[in-house]
Structure 1
Amino acid sequence: MAPSRLPPAALTLKQFLRRQQVLQLYRRILQAIRRVPAEADQHYLKKWAREEFKKNKDATDEDAIRMMITQGNIQLRELERTLQLANS
């Protein structure tokens, strides 16, 4: 049996805000991926992003989550810079 998830109402404010931060990062990554010109690259990057977020969805250690969010933001900035250079 899979571990039960807490309903959104049972989340603490801190957990709710962290969850919103993670969802916002995920959305921003997907938006950036949509700007990748090659469809095959878009598919690869979407799959990679989805797998990374799924792999870490059950993380509970605040320091680890903060580190993953920081890494995600760094990777997003790198992707955005690469897209900017490609379009220059």
Structure 2
Amino acid sequence: FIIDVRPEQELNIAHFENSFHLPMDRLLYNNNDEQLRNELRTNIEKHQQIVIVCRRGNDSQLAVKRLKELLPDIDNIDEK
């Protein structure tokens, strides 16, 4: 399962087919963790491998940390 945390402008240039778009701003600064958690759980299977992609690697590292906070029971998260 691929989560793309790049901004919309970069996503429009090129993206992975069937990736889930979750911009960093939304991931880090949303005001409803429960809604975001439910949306992620709807799309991610518990033991599914999860890969986070961004432009340079810095955002994906932050995204992994944040996703582990939101979904502590999902442990198959890597950044690329």
Query: TM-score, normalization: structure 1?
Result: 0.27
Higher share in helix: 1
* Structure with bigger gyration radius: 1
TM-score (norm 2): 0.29
